[in-house]
């Protein structure tokens, strides 16, 4: 009998799915009425988010069997309550016993309706279950929930409650729900398209929200790229926020001022080094000019010394020739033995003429030497002052 009931149950499940698909394909696109909850949307899309399944259990044909099964499960749940959905388990047990208003006695997530963030905070503080929904403004909800958790007055009051740990755990779990939905919305923004409906983690049908393998692979690849872009965006926002907070920190401002002062000092030091380098370069150029001037002076001095030595040599040669001539005349005079007075006078006149020539040559040589010394001094002065070179006078041109 149980096998027959199981096959009938499975067949009914498949038939309900086929009927849901037929209704989805032939139903109007828009609503004919305004829904009580949410916004009016395409009616066909509703069947993409839900599934129709039977609620009967083919494994328990009598009430006694079902009660015994639930009692066994509840005993197992006492050993590891963290892995069981205890509200749903108690709810099903009450419904199996036929007790009315089971949804009010043990409310589950499926019975909860959307609430504003303040009402959700109130429900958490009173120990009531709360649930996040996909369409809500999760960023605003997170801001309100985090503000309540960080409020010192609320934290002090919760700390005095015997159920403080349970309240904090419920608040943290509800915040994680909003974080998960907000993450989903951020991924959809990066993708530029809506994701398929999420799985029903607490439902009875595992087929809800499940995707074929090939579609799941393609969606995973696209989601990986979107997640990478979202990570870069969040990191940039966090860095910008940290930088803004640091800019407002007095210690950071003092450090920045210190860095600016150090930078200014470094710039001043660099300018000083540049100026010192320019001064050293100018000194090197001045020294080079002085060395060049000395070389020119030495060259001019060498030329003047050579000219003086040539003049001395010529003078000595002239003196030697004059001396030779004088000795020759003297020999002639002595040889003539004063034989002829006229001849003697003529010889004396010639001797006087030779002496006059010798004196004139000496005077001319001495004048040339003095003029050469004057020219050398003028050239030295001109080398020391190249920008103001005097013009030679007529006497110096004639001497030259």
Q: How far apart are CA 99 and CA 199, in angstroms?
A: 30
The pLDDT of residue 272: 85
Exposed / middle / buried, residue 274 (Cβ in 10 Å: 0-12, 13-18, 19+): exposed
pLDDT score of 252:
66
Radius of gyration, CA atoms only, the chain:
61
Give pLDDT, residue 386. Answer: 53
Domain boundaries, the chain: 256-323+356-399
Neighbours of 175 (CB within 10 A): 19
162-176 confidence digits (pLDDT tens) = 888 889 998 999 999
What are the two backbone dihedrals, phi and then psi, of residue 276, each rounded to the nearest 5 degrees? Answer: -60, -40
What does the pLDDT read at residue 397? Answer: 47
pLDDT for position 388? 47
pLDDT in tens, 66-84: 788 888 888 888 888 878 8
Distance, in Å, from the CA atom of 170 to the CA atom of 310, rounded to the nearest integer, reads 121
According to the model, what pLDDT value does residue 296 have? Answer: 83
Q: Which two tokens stand for residue 53?
A: 């399944």
Residues of the chain with pLDDT under 70: 1-2, 32-33, 35, 37-42, 49, 51, 53-61, 109-111, 200-209, 246-253, 336-344, 347, 384-400
C-alpha to C-alpha distance for 112 and 132, rounded to whole angstroms:
9
Token pair listed for 365: 């040589």
- H or E stretch at 288: helix 250-336
Nearest to 195 by CA among 225, 177, 222: 222
Residue-level pLDDT at 176: 93
369 to 175, 308, 362: CA distances (angstroms): 114, 7, 11
CA distances from 386 to 290, 378, 383 (A): 11, 12, 6
What is the CB-side half-sphere exposure of residue 294 using CA atoms within 13 A? Answer: 6
Rounded CA-CA distance 134/117 in Å is 14
């Amino acid at each position: 009998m149980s096998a027959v009931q199981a096959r009938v149950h499975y067949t009914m499940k498949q038939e309900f799915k086929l009927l849901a698909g037929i209704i989805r394909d032939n139903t109007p696109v828009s609503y004919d009425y305004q829904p009580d909850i949410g916004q009016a949307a395409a009616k066909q899309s509703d069947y993409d988010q839900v599934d129709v399944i039977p609620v009967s259990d083919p494994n328990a044909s009598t009430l006694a069997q079902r009660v015994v099964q639930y009692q066994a499960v509840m005993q197992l749940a006492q050993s590891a309550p963290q892995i069981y959905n205890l509200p749903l388990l108690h709810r099903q047990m009450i419904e199996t016993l036929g007790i009315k208003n089971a949804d009010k006695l043990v409310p589950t997530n499926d019975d909860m309706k959307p609430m504003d963030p303040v009402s959700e905070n109130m429900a958490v503080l009173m120990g009531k279950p709360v649930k996040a929904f996909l369409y809500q403004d999760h960023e605003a909800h997170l801001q309100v929930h985090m503000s309540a958790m960080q409020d010192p007055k609320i934290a002090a009051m919760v700390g005095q409650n015997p159920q403080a740990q349970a309240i904090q755990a419920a608040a943290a779990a509800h915040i994680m729900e909003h974080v998960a939905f907000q993450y989903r919305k951020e991924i959809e923004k990066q993708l530029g398209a809506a994701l398929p409906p999420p799985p029903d983690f607490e439902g009875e049908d595992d087929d809800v929200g499940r995707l074929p393998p090939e579609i799941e692979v393609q969606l995973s690849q696209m989601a990986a790229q979107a997640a990478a872009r979202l990570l870069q965006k969040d990191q940039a926002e966090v860095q910008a926020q940290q930088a803004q907070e640091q800019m407002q920190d007095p210690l950071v401002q003092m450090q920045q001022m210190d860095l600016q002062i150090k930078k200014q000092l470094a710039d001043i030091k660099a300018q000083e080094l540049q100026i010192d380098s320019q001064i050293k370069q100018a000194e090197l150029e001045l020294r080079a000019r002085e060395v060049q001037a000395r070389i020119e002076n030495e060259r001019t001095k060498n030329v003047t010394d050579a000219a003086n030595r040539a003049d001395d040599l010529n003078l000595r040669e002239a003196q030697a020739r004059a001396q030779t001539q004088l000795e020759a005349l003297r020999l002639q005079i002595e040889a003539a033995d004063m034989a002829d007075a006229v001849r003697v006078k003529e010889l004396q006149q010639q001797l006087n003429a030779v002496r006059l020539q010798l004196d004139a040559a000496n005077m001319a040589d001495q004048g040339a030497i003095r003029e050469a010394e004057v020219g050398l001094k003028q050239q030295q002065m001109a080398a020391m002052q190249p920008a103001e070179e005097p013009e030679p006078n007529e006497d110096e041109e004639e001497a030259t």
